[in-house]
Chains A and B, each alone.
Chain A
Amino acid sequence: MNTAYISMILIMLLPAAGILVYFLKMFKEISTGISIITLILALYVFTVHNYTYSYFYLNNINRYLLISIASIYFLATVYGTGYHRKMGGSRNLKLHTSLINFFASTMFFSVIINNLALMWIGIEGTTAASALLIVIEGEGADIEAAWRYVIVVSSGLSIALISIIIIYRFYGTLEITSLLSNQFPSSPVNSPVIPMAALLGIVGFGTKAGLFPMHSWLPDAHGRAPSEVSAIFSSALLPVAVYAIYIVLQPTMSGVVRELTVYFAIVTILFVALVMASQRDIKRMYAYSTMENMSLILLGLVLGGPAFIGAILIILTHAFGKAGAFFSSGNILEMYGTRNIKSIHDLHSRSKLTFYTLSLSSFSVTGAPPFGTFIGELLILSAMFSQGFYVAAIILIALLAIIFLSLNYKVFLMAYSSGNSERVEPISLQQIGVTVFSVFMAFLFGFLYLGGVL
């Protein structure tokens, strides 16, 4: 067994074993330790070459996903120690911390397992592992949000399983490396059932990825979950679902399927542009923004070429940028005691640091230069023009501008509007440190790309 293979096993097993911290007194410290070791292992695996390692594999997408999941898992664990400090060593917090570990393990499994059906099982497992993370405070709306998450996502994923069965029927394999290689003696892509498999895959995994119109769980779950859980959902979990769509689309790809996927993504972004201006809840606003970012990633992966690089840039920048946005939202929620945008006033003078982290993370997720998302969007748009999607590309530019203005205007309102807002209490050092670090990392990727490092 080589070191890369052992590292991959450990990346999954360590967080899985982390579920046992429920029984330990030092559960926070041990969880943080596990997340650090996992991040180091993920960084090591990132450096090894693309290959099939027994049951696992590495390619040019999942190595980046691995890094982003491990990073956000680490940041969320540290952030959680500060965010939930008032809960002390309560059983609820122990359960919450142990489930975060297990949740991370299911995401790692989904990303590197070299079998599409087992990947499906991993993604379904993420639902079971994460549903209870939403209800740490046990309020009625939290339970309802978690319930919607379980029911909507699970039924959506059932549809994805039909797509997998059809793929298995036609290609005789579920090995992801084989499906992605597209080297089959006789391609059944002309069969009318194959586009249906693609469509079922988009609808099924798209439910988890938050594609319109199957997104209904997403703003509820993101809005009600604790901020570090929202960050993991948005930055790590949803890109895994988008990646699953990409895998299903590779063997089933045809002109019709490509167009269908592009329009699915555009319609999702159109929906986000329509609802963004009317958002009242800061976390729901960022949840809708995630739908936009996932659609862009899907567009980039499907269009290929330079757009593919654009998608990778968005995966990385969005992971840290959106985590920064949710961490900042959590800090604001703690400071102001509300998530209602209209009740948050004068952030600029009350907490300059939070103002900067919120603004910069908002710029990063809405594609402002010089963030990686901006470069990623440019690459995707150029690919759309070069592949003949002229109308869709022009519509996309307009929609991205609307979303950019709507979201950043709301941030501007929170920063400079005057009114009476009670400051509840200061935020912890861990929260500040993690938020600043996330925003800094989001800032970095654009430059890494321009510098030729990425």
Chain B
Amino acid sequence: MISNEILDIVVAGIILTAIWAQIGTFIKQKIRIVSLQALLLALYVILLGYDLSNMDLIILGILISALRGFSVPLVLTRKIKTSSYKVRERISDTSWITVASIFILIFSFTIYRVTFAPVGYETVGDAGLSLLLQGMFLMVSRRNKFSQFMGYMEEENAIIMLGIGIISLPLIIEASILLDVFALLIVSSVLIAGRFESLKYEELMG
């Protein structure tokens, strides 16, 4: 029997990685933080599966660690040349981002407790909602494509947490979603190549 406290510590670790990803500006570091987040999520799912004697959850955890924990950094960091290890995103000030991400954290926990109480309250669920909003915030607050994609990956991690909090989808569906997102990663890595920043084009206005 695994103590709930251990599971909650893992969830807290996931939330911390989300805030770390918001504040960080080094791209390679950010990719690794979100991979760490996926690995923590995988650990949570495996521990939960072990606790509930649910083989589906254990398999899901292994898939998450393989596809998101290891493959994502492998594919994305290859797009950054080794010589430009310290490539940073251009951002003027991270202080307001820190404040905003803390505010999002409090807001999301409150919202989840109000709205999802009838469904059945779970710690992993409100952390999932928080991660979802953090991911969205990461996407809209940055122009760097890597950061935007990391925001999307956080969103996808959040969906798994919300799913566990509300109800787990059948394994075949969870696995298909993971593969779908992986396919999108491959496509995105092609689009990221060349220029890392999103630009404004005259042709895309109006």
User: Which A residues are closer than 8 A to B by beta carbons?
Assistant: 115, 117-118, 120-121, 124-125, 127-128, 131-132, 135, 140-141, 143-148, 150-151, 154-155, 158, 161-162, 164-166, 168-169, 174, 191-193, 196, 219-220, 223-224, 275, 278-281, 284
**Taking CB as reference atom, which chain A residue is nearest B155?**
A158
Residues of B within 8 A of A127 (CB): 184
**Chain B 179-198: CB-based contact to A (< 8 A → 1; otherwise 0):** 01101101110111011001
**With contact pairs A117-B173, A128-B180, A165-B163 given, residues A146 and B136 touching in the complex (Cβ less than 8 Å):** no
CB of B198 within 8 A of CB of A144, answer: yes
CB of A161 within 8 A of CB of B177, answer: yes
CA A192 to CA B173, docked complex, whole Å: 26
CA A141 to CA B119, docked complex, whole Å: 45
CB of A117 within 8 A of CB of B191, answer: no
Residues of B within 8 A of A145 (CB): 204
CA A161 to CA B188, docked complex, whole Å: 20
Residues of B within 8 A of A147 (CB): 145, 188, 191-192, 198
CB of B163 within 8 A of CB of A192, answer: no
**With contact pairs A117-B169, A147-B145, A169-B119 given, residues A161 and B159 touching in the complex (Cβ less than 8 Å):** yes
- B199 at the binding interface (Cβ < 8 Å): yes
Chain B residues numbered 22-61 whose CB sits less than 8 Å from any CB in chain A: none
Name the one of A143, A154, A162 contacting B162, with C-beta atoms under 8 angstroms: A162
Interface range, B side? 35 or more
Name the one of B151, B152, B191 contacting A135, with C-beta atoms under 8 angstroms: B191
CB of B118 within 8 A of CB of A191, answer: yes
CA A70 to CA B17, docked complex, whole Å: 45
CA A280 to CA B132, docked complex, whole Å: 37
CB of A162 within 8 A of CB of B206, answer: no
**With contact pairs A121-B180, A193-B118 given, residues A146 and B201 touching in the complex (Cβ less than 8 Å):** no
CA A261 to CA B194, docked complex, whole Å: 41
- B18 at the binding interface (Cβ < 8 Å): no
Across chains A and B, which 6 residue pairs bring their CB atoms closest together, nearest first?
A169-B167, A141-B201, A128-B183, A117-B173, A141-B203, A158-B155
CA A62 to CA B201, docked complex, whole Å: 38
Residues of A within 8 A of B148 (CB): 151
Distance in Å from the Cβ of A169 to the closest Cβ of chain B? Answer: 4
**With contact pairs A150-B191, A193-B119 given, residues A128 and B184 touching in the complex (Cβ less than 8 Å):** yes
CB of B115 within 8 A of CB of A193, answer: yes
CB of B206 within 8 A of CB of A118, answer: no
Residues of B within 8 A of A141 (CB): 201, 203-204
**With contact pairs A124-B180, A192-B115 given, residues A279 and B191 touching in the complex (Cβ less than 8 Å):** no
Distance in Å from the Cβ of B121 to the closest Cβ of chain A? Answer: 12
CA A131 to CA B149, docked complex, whole Å: 15
**Taking CB as reference atom, which chain A residue is nearest B204?**
A220
- B116 at the binding interface (Cβ < 8 Å): yes
| Of A132, A147, A220, most B-chain CB atoms within 10 Å | A147
Residues of A within 8 A of B126 (CB): none
Distance in Å from the Cβ of B81 to the closest Cβ of chain A? Answer: 19
Name the one of A155, A219, A223, A280 contacting B155, with C-beta atoms under 8 angstroms: A155
CB of A132 within 8 A of CB of B190, answer: yes
Name the one of B116, B156, B195 contacting A143, with C-beta atoms under 8 angstroms: B195
Residues of A within 8 A of B186 (CB): 128
Residues of B within 8 A of A224 (CB): 203-204
**With contact pairs A162-B162, A169-B119 given, residues A144 and B187 touching in the complex (Cβ less than 8 Å):** no
CA A151 to CA B115, docked complex, whole Å: 27
Residues of B within 8 A of A169 (CB): 119, 166-167
Residues of B within 8 A of A144 (CB): 198-199, 201, 204
**Taking CB as reference atom, which chain A residue is nearest B163?**
A165
What would be 9 A-B contacts, judged by CB atoms less than 8 Å apart? A125-B180, A125-B183, A135-B191, A144-B198, A147-B188, A151-B139, A165-B159, A220-B204, A284-B206
- B176 at the binding interface (Cβ < 8 Å): yes
CA A128 to CA B170, docked complex, whole Å: 23
CB of B184 within 8 A of CB of A150, answer: yes
CA A168 to CA B195, docked complex, whole Å: 41
Distance in Å from the Cβ of B204 to the closest Cβ of chain A? Answer: 5
Residues of A within 8 A of B199 (CB): 140, 144
CB of B206 within 8 A of CB of A278, answer: yes
CA A144 to CA B200, docked complex, whole Å: 8
Distance in Å from the Cβ of A278 to the closest Cβ of chain B? Answer: 6
CA A169 to CA B163, docked complex, whole Å: 9
A sample of 15 more A-B contacts (CB under 8 A), given A121-B176, A144-B204, is: A115-B173, A121-B173, A131-B191, A135-B191, A147-B198, A150-B184, A155-B136, A155-B152, A164-B169, A166-B166, A174-B169, A192-B115, A193-B116, A196-B115, A219-B206
CB of B118 within 8 A of CB of A150, answer: no
CA A220 to CA B202, docked complex, whole Å: 11
**Taking CB as reference atom, which chain A residue is nearest B180?**
A124
Residues of A within 8 A of B180 (CB): 121, 124-125, 128
CA A146 to CA B159, docked complex, whole Å: 24
Residues of B within 8 A of A148 (CB): 198, 204
CB of B203 within 8 A of CB of A150, answer: no
**With contact pairs A131-B191, A140-B199, A147-B145 given, residues A158 and B206 touching in the complex (Cβ less than 8 Å):** no
Distance in Å from the Cβ of B150 to the closest Cβ of chain A? Answer: 11
Residues of A within 8 A of B206 (CB): 219, 275, 278-281, 284
